[in-house]
Amino acid sequence: MKTSSIHGMWSSRLAFVLAATGSAVGLGNIWRFPYITSENGGGAFVLIYLGCILLVGLPVMFSEIVIGRRGRMSPVNSLRELSDAVGASRAWMGLGFIGIIAGFLILSFYSVVAGWTLHYGFLYIKELFGAPGITDPDATFGSLLGNAGQLTFWHGVFMLMTVGVVALGVEKGLERAVGILMPMLFILLLILLAYGVSTGHFWDAARFLFQPDWSQVSTGMFVTALGQAFFTLSLGMCAIMTYGAYLPAHVNIPRVGTAVAASDTVVALIAGLAIFPVIIAFGIDPGSGGAGLIFTSLPLAFAQMPFGIFYGALFFLLLSVAAWTSSISLMEPATAYLVEATNLSRKTAALLIALMGWLLGLATVFSFNIWSEVTIGDKNLMGAIEFVATDIMLPVGGLLTALFAGWVLSKTITKEELDDKMPDWAFKAWLWLTRIVTPMLILWVMASILGFL
């Protein structure tokens, strides 16, 4: 059993929790969670989502950390080592490739969307210094999407921010960055929550988020909730597996895995409680925002509220930080594999991945303007890439991770990695969830996505 990784190690349990939480906390929490919650009726969706975290999210997260820490290498090579150790087929290395490719595809369009947050943050900072404000949010957002040059610029800036951290390595890059960025993210979020409370509509927002309307429950809601659990916890893309490879041997996996999932969920709920009071206070229907909620509905509210310019600048700074910590984890698995598979230095490998991700991201950029009429099926280019990566590859990656950890790895290895002192009932519960419940739920969701149900 290896005790360290060639790529470096987290210095402490807290470092891993901050890094893994940074991976999990991103646009999925602060941009995607509020709008899909609003589209799915609020409270009932939130409860179903929490159930998905417990029944699927935690078992898969524990599994990824177990595989990563036991293998101590990139996902592909960790799976090769563990397959050899238990006499299984090396075809399981394919799981590592699926995760790395999924993460790379997500990075390509995630960087473009993160670029939107940088652009909006820049607009509000300029407004603080006297520039004209956003008076027509729909026109501002439409103008941004229609401007290929502007989208390309901010996409490039964000990719440079990401590679700048990854190229420095685990201790000097990843750990140092999350040690600064994650506390900043939590502080910003609490400031925004405090303003949400001050609007006088906090309890209206809380009722919307937590009061279930069971009449709106549908199969589609379960599918969306499970997909959100995967997306927001960074599961199926081998990011957590990669971070697990840098986890010291003495750290308790169930404890840190639960801390990461809990932190991620709390951030998503706080984001909702910070955003919806503002939306409600200015007469905007929280159920009608859609994907543009953050970029059209909120600026409308910011324009009317006291200190709205300052609040807007803080909000988009928060979004940018959350996106940054996630994109770092999307780039790391591919970078780690390239370092192991070639003679390239980490800096060169990271720059190569960033360049390829930036180039592929141009397809997303152009899907809103010069290639807007290009479709694959009924989706534009960004929608097609997102569908393949998040709706197909992430569930497949999660399914194979659960099957490998539950059925292929020996009970001795999994018990040793999870915790030798774990009560038998707890280990059996994890094994039952990982072997049976999680795969069945993932297969059900995949069948629904692909139209078989």
| CA–CA distances in Å: residue 392 to residues 164, 267, 448 | 30, 26, 11
Q: What is the distance between the alpha carbons of residues 448 and 55, in angstroms, rounded to a whole number? A: 18
Identify residue 330 by its one-letter amino acid code: L
Q: Which two tokens stand for residue 122?
A: 């820049």
Q: Using CB atoms within 10 A of its CB, is residue 388 exposed (0-12), middle (13-18) or buried (19+)?
A: middle
Q: Which two tokens stand for residue 237?
A: 């893309």
Q: Which residue, among 265, 217, 242, 218, has the nearest Cα to 57 in the 3D structure?
A: 265
pLDDT for the residue numbered 390: 86
Give strand pairing partners of 379: 376
pLDDT for the residue numbered 290: 58
pLDDT for the residue numbered 279: 81
Helices (H) and strands (E) in the chain, counts: 22, 0
pLDDT for the residue numbered 1: 65
SS3 of 238-296: CHHHHHHCCCCCCCCHHHHHHHHHHHHHHHHHHHHHHHHHHHHHCCCCCCCCHHHHHHH
Residues of the chain with pLDDT under 50: none
pLDDT for the residue numbered 292: 66
Is 11 strand, coil or helix?
Answer: coil
Q: Which residue, among 401, 407, 396, 386, has the nearest Cα to 443 in the 3D structure?
A: 396
Q: What is the distance between the alpha carbons of residues 247 and 403, in angstroms, rounded to a whole number? A: 22
pLDDT for the residue numbered 99: 96
Cβ atoms < 10 Å from Cβ of 391: 18
pLDDT for the residue numbered 286: 63
pLDDT for the residue numbered 375: 93
Q: What is the distance between the alpha carbons of residues 229 and 65, in angstroms, rounded to a whole number? A: 17
Q: What is the distance between the alpha carbons of residues 94 and 102, in angstroms, rounded to a whole number? A: 12
pLDDT for the residue numbered 381: 95
pLDDT for the residue numbered 79: 97
φ and ψ of 2, to 5 deg: -75, 145
Cβ atoms < 10 Å from Cβ of 280: 20
pLDDT for the residue numbered 144: 95
Q: For residues 396 and 98, is the Cβ–Cβ distance under 8 A?
A: yes
SS3 of 168-206: CCHHHHHHHHHHHHHHHHHHHHHHHHHHHHHCCCHHHHH
Top-level CATH class of 13-418?
mainly alpha
